[in-house]
């Protein structure tokens, strides 16, 4: 029975590849492979399941949140039915720190995408470090919520921690980004914190830990999308690259 469940889980993830790889893996600038893609998908499903469980256990939760998570599951099922491609993976590589680090970079992209959606900022702006565009987007969003305050963009304190919750458009995407950041911290503690750093001449691993905590804190505090983008692109991804010698796409 156990083997059957493991095989079924593998088959589901395998079938999901065709749909998700196009929107999840290619966004960041790290070189990736099927092993890191597989681990990314596993964690995305774990995160989604946690959100569904949380919505069921919280009697005060908005019913629309649960409906959105259920809708996500239905969309995944539809993807399974229409997908045919498969992943070529080596389970021995699941314990490889560089593979795990690449998966972490993928999850960082998921945070950017979901946090952007939560506040109406297009994912391409969040993923490709278009700071000018994200500032303009924040300015437009602020004007929509404060039409009589033409200088309201200045009060957002762009690039610093400021409560942006009034501009939240999609709570389900926000909670998804928050849960993803929590999962990234868990992965660091469970898999990367004990990595052999004897050959390192920098403090990138400890800086990575700090950046992950900063990311979670800023999401929790509803910081500007530009601040989240700054942390992922300017701290999380670079420290993953330095700590685990990840190569960039050419």
95 occurs within a structural domain: yes
250 occurs within a structural domain: no
167 occurs within a structural domain: yes
* Cβ neighbour number for residue 27 with a 10 Å cutoff: 20
115 pLDDT above the threshold of 90: yes
Rounded distance between C-alpha atoms, residue 97 and residue 102, angstroms: 9
Q: Identify the band that residue 94 occupies on the pLDDT scale cut at 50, 70 and 90.
A: confident
Domain count, the chain: 1
Place of tokens 């990311």: 215
Beta bridge partners of 30: 248
- Position 151 scores a pLDDT of 43
* Cβ–Cβ < 8 Å for 103, 40: yes
Task: Select the more confidently predicted residue: 142 or 125.
Answer: 125
Taking CA 64 as the corner, what is the angle to CA 58 and CA 70, rounded to the nearest 5 degrees?
Answer: 85
21 pLDDT above the threshold of 50: no
Task: Select the more confidently predicted residue: 90 or 217.
Answer: 217
- Position 243 scores a pLDDT of 87
73 pLDDT above the threshold of 80: no
- Cβ-based neighbours of 33, under 8 Å, separated by 6 or more: 99, 102
Q: Identify the band that residue 197 occupies on the pLDDT scale cut at 50, 70 and 90.
A: low
Rounded distance between C-alpha atoms, residue 103 and residue 215, angstroms: 17
- Position 249 scores a pLDDT of 54
Q: Identify the band that residue 56 occupies on the pLDDT scale cut at 50, 70 and 90.
A: confident
Cβ-in-10-Å burial (0-12, 13-18, 19+) of 116 comes to: buried
Q: Identify the band that residue 81 occupies on the pLDDT scale cut at 50, 70 and 90.
A: low
Beta bridge partners of 248: 30
Mean pLDDT of 217-230: 95
213 occurs within a structural domain: yes
- Position 120 scores a pLDDT of 92
Between 59-63, 84-88, 166-170, the lowest mean confidence (pLDDT) is in 84-88
- Position 1 scores a pLDDT of 53
138 pLDDT above the threshold of 50: yes
- Position 141 scores a pLDDT of 73
38 occurs within a structural domain: yes
Rounded distance between C-alpha atoms, residue 73 and residue 71, angstroms: 5
Report CA torsion sign: 69, 55, 121, 166.
positive
138 occurs within a structural domain: yes
- The DSSP code sequence of the chain is -HHHHHHHHHHHHHHHHHHHHHHHTTTSSB---HHHHHHHHHHHHHHHHHHHHHHHH-TTS-HHHHHHHHHHHHHHHHHHHH--------GGGGG-HHHHHHHHHHHHHHHHHHHHHHTT--HHHHHTT-HHHHHHHHHHHHHHH-TT-TTHHHHT-TTS----GGG---HHHHHHHHHHHHHHHHHIIIIITT---TT--S-HHHHHHHHHHHHHHHHHTT--HHHHHHHIIIIIHHHHHHHHTPPBP-
Q: Identify the band that residue 112 occupies on the pLDDT scale cut at 50, 70 and 90.
A: very high
Domain that holds residue 60: 2-244
* % of residues, the chain, pLDDT over 90: 34
- Position 168 scores a pLDDT of 92
Mean pLDDT of 37-65: 82
**What's the whole-number average pLDDT of the chain?**
76
Q: Identify the band that residue 26 occupies on the pLDDT scale cut at 50, 70 and 90.
A: very low
198 pLDDT above the threshold of 70: no
Q: Identify the band that residue 220 occupies on the pLDDT scale cut at 50, 70 and 90.
A: very high
249 occurs within a structural domain: no
73 occurs within a structural domain: yes
């Amino acid at each position: 029975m156990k083997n059957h469940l493991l095989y079924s889980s593998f088959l589901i993830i395998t079938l999901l590849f065709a749909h998700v790889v196009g929107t999840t893996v290619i966004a960041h600038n790290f070189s990736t492979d099927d092993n890191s893609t597989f681990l990314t998908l596993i964690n995305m499903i774990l995160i989604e399941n946690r959100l569904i469980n949380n919505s069921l256990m919280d009697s005060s939760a908005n019913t629309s949140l649960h409906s959105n998570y259920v809708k996500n599951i239905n969309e995944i099922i539809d993807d399974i039915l229409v997908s045919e491609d498969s992943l070529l993976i080596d389970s021995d590589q699941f314990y490889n720190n560089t593979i795990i680090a690449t998966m972490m970079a993928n999850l960082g992209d998921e945070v950017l995408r979901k946090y952007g959606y939560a506040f109406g900022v297009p994912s391409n702006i969040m993923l490709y470090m278009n700071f000018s565009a994200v500032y303009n987007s924040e300015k437009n969003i602020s004007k929509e919520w404060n039409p009589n305050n033409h200088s309201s963009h200045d009060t957002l304190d762009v690039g610093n921690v400021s409560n942006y919750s009034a501009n939240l458009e999609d709570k389900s995407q926000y909670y998804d980004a928050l849960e993803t950041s929590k999962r990234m911290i868990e992965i660091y503690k469970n898999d990367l914190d004990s990595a052999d750093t004897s050959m390192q001449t920098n403090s990138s691993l400890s800086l990575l830990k700090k950046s992950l905590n900063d990311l979670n804190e800023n999401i929790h505090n509803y910081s500007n999308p530009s601040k989240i983008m700054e942390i992922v692109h300017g701290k999380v991804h670079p420290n993953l690259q330095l700590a685990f010698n990840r190569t960039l796409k050419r």
